[in-house]
Amino acid sequence: MFSWRIIGLRVLVNFAVVALLGASAYAVVEVVKRSTEPARDENWWRQNEITMVLTMITFIYPIIFEVLGFFEGFHPRKQLRIQLAR
């Protein structure tokens, strides 16, 4: 019944999701670590760095997850549930 192509695609999508979540966690940790260091140059980006990085993550990642969800080939209702779980 199941196609190896669909199973392989779903596994690949799940690895991509885990990699994206790891990248976002790494970015947040690095930005917070930088915020505790003394600033050599106090510019606008440095003052708002944490807010900007978190805003970019919350804006861009759901779009990427939606695109990855289309590759999985689930019914839209099930795809929405998976998206909400992620």
What pLDDT digit, counting tens, does each position of 30-63 carry?
Answer: 999 988 888 777 888 888 899 999 999 999 998 9
- What's the half-sphere exposure (Cβ side, CA atoms, 13 Å) at 54? 8
- Cβ proximity of 71 and 13 under 8 Å: yes
Q: Which domain holds residue 25?
A: 4-85
Total-model pTM:
0.78
Q: Tens digits of per-residue pLDDT, 11-35?
A: 899 899 999 999 999 999 999 998 8
Residues 16, 17, 21, CA angle at the centre, nearest 5°?
A: 115
Number of structural domains found in the chain:
1
